[in-house]
Structure 1
């Protein structure tokens, strides 16, 4: 086999098929949707939709830059690039109902990340808007550090309270045990002093009875 033939075979094996290209295709989920305060509150569906729209926008931009036929369909009178993405297609790709897609688009519109313009007798134009950032990744990391510090302090306080609760229960149990032991030994608490209860002396009782009988006899005499 000649050298040229080997080179041709090697190149042919490294060709990228449509299946492989589809498998490796992806779109981005921008970091600012996760750390910027005014965007991170968007629903996960709205964030996913923004990534999908941004990907479609980049496709429109590529078509315009490469002079693809009908590329003018993706650029307006002021040379702003837009994309066309109807609700049914979005619904299919994101496995959402059409009303859910409309709600997600409304979220992006209110966050000023999407502008949809209706054109008579044509598909709506979707303008994906750049974000307005008040912070960056470093700000996000500092905020996260503060949140972790506050959580650690709360966890520490929770552990302290649990420890105090266990100690209080142990003390109450010890006091209850001591009280039962004292009662079993015939000791009662009077004020701050422990006084031992004296059991009845049968001999003393009999002596008392004899004294009373003798008293009545003397009285009769």
Structure 2
């Protein structure tokens, strides 16, 4: 397959997932895999849609609904790997999972990597 060059203003036509520099290079995130960092970027992207859909709990916190099956598809990985990457984010405190049960999807709370709260 031959890809064409990007010309002039057409470079603005692409949308991107954002991965914060501090997440990539910060010492506190050094042990996170690149896949977990990419998953965090995907979760950040979903936050805007969650806010638009009014997916906000009774404490005014926005949550994301992102089933493991969709993570698998988006990252092109096995279920085991998708769970592993999510667990990495939970372990460092970037994501908090609230299990809903009764067949309802889990709520994922994406934490602000810039502002840390006392433990």
Say which of 67, 71, 87 aligns to 1:106.
Answer: 87
Q: In the alignment, is the contact (CA less than 8 A) between 1:53 and 1:128 conserved in 2?
A: yes
Counterpart of 1:46? Answer: 36
Distance apart, 1:132 and its partner CA? 5.0
**Matched residue pairs, number?**
104
- Tell me: CA distance 1:133–1:38, structure 2 relative to 1, closer, same or farther (3 Å): farther
Between Structure 1 and Structure 2, which shows a larger proportion of helix residues? 1
Counterpart of 2:98? Answer: 117
Q: Mind listing any 5+ residue stretches in structure 2 that lack a counterpart?
A: 1-12
Q: In the alignment, is the contact (CA less than 8 A) between 1:76 and 1:82 conserved in 2?
A: yes
Distance apart, 1:60 and its partner CA? 1.1
Counterpart of 2:15? Answer: 25
Bigger radius of gyration among the two: 1
Counterpart of 1:176? Answer: none
TM-score by length of 2: 0.79
Mapped to 2, the partners of 1:43 and 1:78 lie a distance apart of 31
Give yes or no for the alignment of 1:130 onto 2:112: yes
1:115-160 Cα shifts (integer Å, max 9, x gaps): 11011331100100012579xxxxxxxxxxxxxxxxxxxxxxxxxx
Mapped to 1, the partners of 2:114 and 2:92 lie a distance apart of 10
Give yes or no for the alignment of 1:35 onto 2:16: no
Q: In the alignment, is the contact (CA less than 8 A) between 2:23 and 2:113 conserved in 1?
A: no
Q: In the alignment, is the contact (CA less than 8 A) between 1:36 and 1:133 conserved in 2?
A: no
1:160-216 Cα shifts (integer Å, max 9, x gaps): xxxxxxxxxxxxxxxxxxxxxxxxxxxxxxxxxxxxxxxxxxxxxxxxxxxxxxxxx
Distance apart, 1:40 and its partner CA? 2.3
Q: Mind listing any 5+ residue stretches in structure 1 that lack a counterpart?
A: 1-22, 64-70, 135-221
Counterpart of 2:77? Answer: 96
